[in-house]
Amino acid sequence: MTGQQRFMRGWMGLVLVGTFCWAASAQEATFPRELHPWGRFPVGSWKRVRTISQSLDERGQVLSESITDTRTTLTAVGPESYTLQTEVTVEVASRWITGLPQVTRHGFYGETPPQAVNVRRLPDAPLTIDGRTVNCQVRQVVLAGEGGKLIHTLHLADQVPPFVLRRESTLENGQSEEKRRTALIEVVALDLPFRIGGELKSASLIKTTQFLPRGSKTTFEIHCVDVPGGVAAHWATETNGAGRVIRRSTLELLDFGIPSGEEEEFSSGTFRRHRSGKTMRRGDGR
């Protein structure tokens, strides 16, 4: 994988992260793992999701459809990074084919270690979400790599999951304005009831808008702090430059698990987790 590909993967696949312990200068800083969607969980935690993707023609008819199951397992976690093992199974001609497991290491800022990270504190600012005003710390995070420079402006609230309530991102590669990419991730609703594994959980609704050189992609995502990785569902549409939908996808959580014997209280005081090997199960027709 080239440096450009690694950099693009970091931009497209970056998950929401949060912290209340950031550097006030432009120095790399470590932040608490318990506020990260994967970092808060013990090694061995896992989830399995199913993604259905469709490509559409000019009349909105389905050209092709793919179904993918992805199992992601947390294999290591430390004060500054975590490691995931991903196993992907794809349906091909009514048969399920599983690829080789892929192992990737990530920093809590979304960087690929040892990628350099600079953090700068900006003036604090309030953020209003569905009529509720939340006081936020504002941080600018700059990730530098072979593919260019990735700049995030984050609005953080350590007492309000999912903690990063807004993120504006820009990828600059210094070569062409056409290759400049931006994204806006914003929480649009808090404390929504969402059923996961037969239980109603508190969840957030997150809207992500990616502005691409020849179109845009909009994703609505259900995020729950009780689920490893955070994401419990999503609905995405991609449009071309003329505004026509060319691709769409859905994601659903099939099951997840957290190793037994874990009993942990979050230091932020926002919520607690007391689990003893609880696993969500559901039939998936396979």
- Digit-by-digit pLDDT tens for the chain (286 residues) are 544 444 444 544 443 333 333 333 433 366 678 889 999 999 999 999 999 999 999 999 999 999 999 999 999 999 889 999 999 999 987 889 999 999 999 988 888 888 888 888 899 999 999 999 999 989 898 988 777 788 999 898 888 999 889 999 998 775 655 556 799 999 999 999 999 988 999 999 999 999 888 899 999 999 999 999 999 999 999 999 999 999 999 999 999 999 986 444 333 323 334 333 444 444 443 4
Widest distance between CA atoms in the chain: 55
Query: What's the DSSP call for residue 197?
Result: T
Query: What's the DSSP call for residue 283?
Result: -
Which of 137, 75, 138, 139 lies closest to 106, judged by CA? 75
| Rounded Cα distance, 175 and 188, in Å | 34
234: Cβ contacts below 8 Å, ≥ 6 apart: 219, 220, 221, 222, 249, 250, 251
Buried b or exposed e, range 181-190, using 16+ CB within 10 angstroms: bbbebbbeeb
At position 62, the amino acid (one-letter code) is V
| Rounded Cα distance, 44 and 73, in Å | 6
Whether cis (ω within 30° of 0) applies to the bond prior to 114 is yes
| Rounded Cα distance, 103 and 220, in Å | 27
